Amino acid sequence: MLVGTAVVLALPLWRDSIAGRFILEAADRAVIRTQVSGRVTNVYVDEGQTVSPGEPVVQLRNLSLASVQAETEAGLQRAATEVHAAESAFSGLGAALARRDQAVQEARSAASEAAELELKSPVAGVVTTPRVSDQLGSFVKEGKELVEVADL
């Protein structure tokens, strides 16, 4: 029994390895594109930075969207004032409520579009796009790829 044990200890250990080039590919990746056109006002990430889901990566500015949002908010305020006046006068409440409901819908739609100006990471991972900050100040059209995040 001792002879068998001595033979096993005397044999060298086998190592399995392969030398060569390889490419590390992400298991999960997300390309973040603009949903609306606008000017890039802030870039919050750099290549190699780790991001969490929902973390802002780029901020856009669109003057026409900002104008529409301001108009809809003002319309909502006017409609609320009309409802209050109709309640006080005991007349025209139905029409005032209808205008207010329409203004609420328009304000929600404008707010939804304005929310698309802040691009967020949909997944956790590492920013793989080089020189993201080079986009700062540039005008980008709807659908432009700005940042890629990969789960490495």
- The model's pLDDT over 135-148, given as tens digits with 9 standing for 90+, comes to 999 999 999 999 99
Is the entire prediction scored with pTM above 0.75? no
Q: Is the pLDDT of residue 74 over 80?
A: yes
Question: In angstroms, how far is CA 119 from the centroid of its own chain?
Answer: 3
* Cα–Cα distance for residue pair 54/51, rounded to 1 Å: 9
HEC string of 84-118 equals HHHHHHCCCHHHHHHHHHHHHHHHHHHHHHHHCCE
Tell me the HSE value of 116 on the side-chain side, using a 13 A CA sphere: 17
User: 16-67: per-residue pLDDT in tens?
Assistant: 777 888 676 667 789 999 999 999 999 999 999 999 999 999 999 999 998 9
3-state class (DSSP) for residue 51:
strand
- Angle CA 55–59–61, to nearest 5: 155
pLDDT bracket for residue 122 (50, 70, 90): very high
